[in-house]
Amino acid sequence: MLYKTNNKDSFKPSIQGFKPASILLFAIVLTACGGGSGGGSAPADTSPGNSNPGGTAPYNKRISESVMDFDNNGVMDARFDFLYFPDGRIQMITYTYTGDGTPDIYNPYYVASTQRADTEFTYDANGKLTGFKLDIDNGQSVNNVTYTYNGNQFVRADLVVTSAGSTSNLTGVVTYVNGLAAQYNLSMAGNSVMNYQFTYNTSNQVIQSVQTFAGSSNPVTSTYSWNADGSLQKVSNADSFSSWDETYIHSGGVLVQKDFTFSKPPTNSKNTNVSWLYVYQNGDFIRTDFDLNMDGSIDSTITNTVVSGACTPVYLNIPDDITGTGGDGIVGSPNGLTWCG
């Protein structure tokens, strides 16, 4: 899960309680599978919403909980708990914030006021993801998302948001050209509120996205660079007021570091350079360290408990904003060691 604030916050009230995510890529992975080279073999089927139809789970380790220390003082501030179906697909993710009495330095996920969030996923008989429900603070804000497919291809998401006694309905539609997502449009009451246009290279990798907003003349243009092995190397983003880069560093087939650097931060913005450092032990993904200001100090940590158990990543090839949770749109490693949703 990434964070970012920009003018996409113009429709962010529909996702109250959760921080906005990265601008986007594709292939959201709804998983908390643990294990690098030791986590099991890669799934043979990575079709949208159904990475392993009718088969056994491709991984034999998974994350059961993640403990967060948002000021790196050795005392827990919050935690994620993960519940799985017998086939290894993620069933529910629960976020609970307790705090430790000292101010948080860096919380990359929820806004400070969020005390609890439950995300419950649903699937069809073939294991294809059909939607999820995100309940923030026991009904203070509820997001219900339903996915629609054309065959095995995701084409639409419907988001119903209930918050503070009011309900909003948003619809996201993907338009494909030659099998590639050429456009993604998010609308409310029939009126477009946000639109993406995508450009690809000859290897069918996205190399540019342009994000526009209704009533705004300030589009966000993102340029993507790829490594020779097909892993993401860098995303450079810019609008009229700011520019920032996301750099991805891989080693041994897994993502080991993400750097967010603002070369031109928005006016009066609190956006700060930060490194996300991924730590592995015996092939298991055990921790994420956060270096705010990139000064070499660790300001926040997330420690994972990796246990034996079936784990089936669920891939959904869509822009991540429509999920309503700010899911990370980037597959960080061959084994899907980051979780989304």
How many Cβ atoms are within 10 Å of 165's Cβ, its own excluded?
Answer: 5
For residue 320, give both structure tokens: 């991540």
**Inside any domain, residue 190:** yes
**Inside any domain, residue 78:** yes
78-116 pLDDT per residue, tens:
999 999 999 888 899 899 999 999 999 998 876 677 889
* Phi (first) and psi of residue 149, to 5 degrees: -120, 155
Q: Return the residue matching tokens 């619809």.
A: 171
**Inside any domain, residue 330:** no
* Phi (first) and psi of residue 252, to 5 degrees: 65, 25
Nearest to 124 by CA among 162, 156, 85: 85
* DSSP states of 175-219: EEETTEEEEEEEEETTEEEEEEEEEE-TTS-EEEEEEEETT-S--
**Inside any domain, residue 261:** yes
- pLDDT at position 157: 87
Contacts of 204 (CB under 8 A, 6+ apart): 180
16-27 pLDDT per residue, tens:
333 222 222 223
Domain extent for 93: 7-323
141-187 pLDDT per residue, tens:
888 989 888 887 888 889 898 888 899 899 989 898 888 888 989 89
* DSSP states of 5-21: -SGGGGGGGGGTTB---
Contacts of 289 (CB under 8 A, 6+ apart): 276, 277, 279, 298, 300, 301
Q: What is the CATH number of the domain that holds 72?
A: 2.40.160
- pLDDT at position 70: 94
Which of 258 and 6 is assigned the larger pLDDT?
A: 258
**Inside any domain, residue 333:** no
- Burial label, 178 (beta-carbon count in 10 A; 0-12, 13-18, 19+): exposed
Measured CA to CA, the distance from residue 262 to residue 324 in angstroms comes to 25
Q: pLDDT confidence of 137, banded at 50, 70, 90? A: confident
How many Cβ atoms are within 10 Å of 249's Cβ, its own excluded?
Answer: 15
Number of domains in the chain: 1
**Inside any domain, residue 328:** no
- pLDDT at position 28: 40
275-331 pLDDT per residue, tens:
999 999 988 889 999 999 999 999 999 999 999 988 887 765 544 433 333 333 332
Query: What residues form DSSP beta bridges with 224?
Result: 235
**Inside any domain, residue 251:** yes
**Inside any domain, residue 329:** no
Q: pLDDT confidence of 337, banded at 50, 70, 90? A: very low
Q: pLDDT confidence of 267, banded at 50, 70, 90? A: low
How many Cβ atoms are within 10 Å of 48's Cβ, its own excluded?
Answer: 22
For residue 167, give both structure tokens: 């309900």
